[in-house]
Amino acid sequence: MRHLLLVILLVPVLARADDLAARAKKLHAEAIVVDTHLDAPDQLAGKWADVSTRGATDHFDIPRAREGGLTAPFFSIYVAASYADHGAARRALELIDLTHRVVDGHPKDLVLAGSHADIRAAKRAGKLAILMGIEGGHAIEDSLGVLREMYRAGVRYMTLTHTNTNHWADSSGPFYEPDFDPKKSAVHDGLTAFGKDVVKEMNRLGMIVDISHVSDATIRDVLAVSRAPVMASHSSCRAISNMPRNLTDDQLKQIAGKGGVVMINFGSGFLDQKVYDQFVATLAKVKPEYLRLKATYAKDPARLRTEMLGLYKKLGGAGGARAAWTKVVDHIEHVIAVAGEDAVGIGADFDGIEDPPTGLDDVSFLPRISEELLRRGHSEAQVKKVLGENFLAFFARVETARDRLASEPPFTTEYTGK
Ligand SMILES: [Zn+2]
């Protein structure tokens, strides 16, 4: 009798879950799914693999992207801080070349895209649209000419800094270092005069200005000078996980107020305060050993990084815990509540994070986000906005701003140290 009761009670629940999963899957097949931050190029530069083979990188390959219904990932042209003043533009060009080689090697599955219309065309053709975004403004080596060449090479966004403050923009800093002090990254109080011209020239080119990683002062300056809407390509909400890489409610409102978008990062510490707090506690524990290693490898940042990773491993990982995947949807709903339903999307940071949430282990799991949004009562049209339509509308607004500035001559500002 008790068993029968259990069956009677469970059947509708299971049927509903099945129905939701099926609806989510169908919706993904129809929808354009954009992810504005995928670190596959850096992984492929370290260890080349054929992206049509399962397991090509930690979180990405064509088969898993197809399973996840992914339409348009932005390949991150990630230029590590160690390249600043040491071949940063060369590193960026090598990763741009790598991206072109990946796309050229798979013409049936992949196509390089450079506009919102290209993304829609790729969807109609049944292909994945690959776009590029530079991570780390030091990649332009303080030259607007280099910036323009990066655009011509196909780059459609630039994150103004990585974890390093460059010559013209302050970063929020290297939060994962045990002696992290945000004051050390606050060099210019935001953007310098040259940095402001970089932003204005990006507007003129139609290159998206990305404020992930930059300091609060830089976000303030970007919002003041940008002539186009701006994006956070892979950041989440500080109200849920209070860490420097996430955005305050005020920033969410201001970004949305200018027609911009916030693309949610899947790193467990970005999503879950408990995970971030545990990470900070681990950093405090390793600080003495870190300071010793830092002194030993002062001139060898790559070796220091390897030694630090070894140290974290010994302690059970840099944080250890992982967030639950439904936390991603908590962040999406938070942006919707604070900044409106047009302002949010996905910037998972796959291949750049070591701790995606449990249940969202790689790009193939993306339909779960739709499933959870449907379960929480969002309409299919709203889910499609989160998946890609919000980004596409935003990208179109950046293109409109570019067209409005078409008669303006290129900026010829020379970097003078200010
Ligand atoms: Zn990043």
163 C-alpha to ligand 1 centroid (Å): 8
Among the options 35, 39, 201, 362, which is catalytic? 39
As a whole number of angstroms, the distance between CA 367 and CA 71 comes to: 12
C-alpha 4 – ligand 1 centre gap (Å)? 52
Q: Are 352 and 78 in contact (CB under 8 A)?
A: yes
Closest CA to 21 of 266, 360, 372: 372
pLDDT of residue 16: 67
Decide if 389 contacts 342 (C-beta within 8 A).
no
Name the pLDDT band for 315 (thresholds 50, 70, 90): low
Indicate which residue of 35, 42, 61, 135 is catalytic. Answer: 135
Percent of the chain with pLDDT over 90: 83
39 is catalytic: yes
The b-or-e profile of 27-63 (16+ CB within 10 A means b, else e) is: bbeebbbbbbbbbbbbbbeeeeeebeeeebbbbbbbb
Contact status, residue 348 vs residue 35, Cβ threshold 8 Å: yes
37 an active-site residue?
Answer: yes
pLDDT band at 256; cut points 50, 70, 90: very high
Q: What is the DSSP letter of 358?
A: B
Query: Is 234 among the residues known to form the active site?
Result: yes
CA–CA separation, 133 and 76 (whole Å): 5
Q: What is the 3-state secondary structure (H, E, C) of 316-353?
A: CCCCCCCCECHHHHHHHHHHHHHHCCCCEEECCCECCC
349, 351, 355, 362: the active-site residue: 349
**Is-catalytic flag, 3?**
no
Distance 162 CA to ligand 1 centre (A): 6
Q: What does the pLDDT look like over 191-233, one tens digit per residue?
A: 999 999 999 999 999 999 999 999 999 999 999 999 999 999 9
Distance 378 CA to ligand 1 centre (A): 29
- Cα of 215 vs centre of ligand 1, distance in Å, is 13
How close is the Cα of 213 to the center of ligand 1, in Å? Answer: 7
What phi and psi values does residue 73 have, to the nearest 5 degrees? -90, 140
Q: Binning pLDDT at 50, 70 and 90, where does residue 308 land?
A: confident
* 213 catalytically annotated: yes
C-alpha dihedral over 48, 53, 59, 62, to 10 degrees? 110
pLDDT tens-place string over residues 18-72: 788 899 989 988 999 999 999 999 999 999 999 999 999 999 999 999 999 999 9
pTM score above 0.85:
yes
Distance 234 CA to ligand 1 centre (A): 7
- Residue 396: per-residue pLDDT: 98
